[in-house]
Structure 1
Amino acid sequence: MIEKFNDLLEQAQQQTDAQRLLFLFAASDVVKKAKKRDEKKGTLSPVMCVDKLPAEIDSFKALASEADGITQDWDMVLIAALSGEGAKAPTTEEAEPFLNKMANDLSSGQDLSRYVIFDRKENPIVIQAA
């Protein structure tokens, strides 16, 4: 499991094929606390999506600040990578259907284990379907 956002950036930059990173910012609605202290139950809703090349991102803090400039109504960010061919990264247009799939996966309660997820404080999050 990726523990830090910088680990994700480093891995994306080390791939043989150029990468485009896909970000889905989501808002949580905690309905009740679970018995275990670290577990929470609730729902997640998509708020906004963006795609970026790894070189366009300085840090998690910078990404979060940019997102907050649009809306502060997010609690988590789901991240996926899209591979290009050789040195050519996928375009924003090529990334769009994958961003839509991420939003649909979240909205329809699909398995989110394929995504790296961080909360606003850059803590890694594991989400299990109810």
Structure 2
Amino acid sequence: MNIASFDDLLSAARAQPLPQRLLFVFAGIELPDDATPEERAAFEQGQGGALVPQMCVDKSPDELASFDQLKQEAATFGQPWGMVFAAAMSGAPGKALTSADADEPLQKMVEAIRQGRIQAYIPFDPQGRPVQIG
């Protein structure tokens, strides 16, 4: 399935035959201290930078009506972010996943993003649009 918007992600999760749990990691985009002058110039133009996980949360698709709801909840933590990474995990037939089930996968996701291993996740910008990285 092609995910062209955050709503597509929610629809896909709701359409799955097994219960889903959505994982989200909000990341800031910062300029590393050892950046070259070229990297600094590109960063000033909105290019490059390093992803720094700021906060994370998990939700069932039924707990989340829209990207705006997720964005409003994120704002209550007071952390600035430039991108949110999304992933999904499946439960078993008739058994919905809980936040406790998502704890370890969510922490692994945070660590993967910290290390720059982001290919398994769908990044969205602050307007809920998918971002093409690389």
Q: TM-score range by the shorter chain?
A: 0.7 to 0.9
- Structure 1 alignment gaps of length 5 or more: none
Contact 2:54 2:79 in 1 (8 A): no
- Structure 2 alignment gaps of length 5 or more: 32-39
Find the counterpart in structure 2 of residue 19 from structure 1.
Answer: 20
Find the counterpart in structure 2 of residue 10 from structure 1.
Answer: 11
Whole-Å separation in 1 of the counterparts to 2:129 and 2:95? 31
Find the counterpart in structure 2 of residue 95 from structure 1.
Answer: 102
Whole-Å separation in 2 of the counterparts to 1:68 and 1:22? 17
Contact 1:32 1:42 in 2 (8 A): no
Contact 2:28 2:81 in 1 (8 A): yes
The secondary structure found in structure 1 opposite 2:62 is helix
Q: Deviations over 1:79-128 (max 9, x none)?
A: 00010001322221111111111111111122x12111101011211223
- Matched residues, percent identical? 40
Runs of 4+ residues deviating >2 angstroms: none
For the pair shown, which has the larger CA radius of gyration, 1 or 2?
2
Normalising by structure 1, we get a TM-score of 0.87
Amino acid at match of 1:59: S
Alignment of 1:50-129 (within 5 A): 50-110=57-117, 112-128=118-134
Amino acid at match of 1:119: D
Relative to structure 1, the CA distance from residue 86 to residue 119 in structure 2 (aligned partners, 3 Å threshold; closer, same or farther) is: same
Quick one: higher RCO (CA 8 Å, sep 6+), 1 or 2? 2
Query: How much is the aligned-residue C-alpha RMSD, in angstroms?
Result: 1.7
1:32 CA drift (Å): 4.0
The secondary structure found in structure 2 opposite 1:105 is helix
Find the counterpart in structure 1 of residue 34 from structure 2.
Answer: none
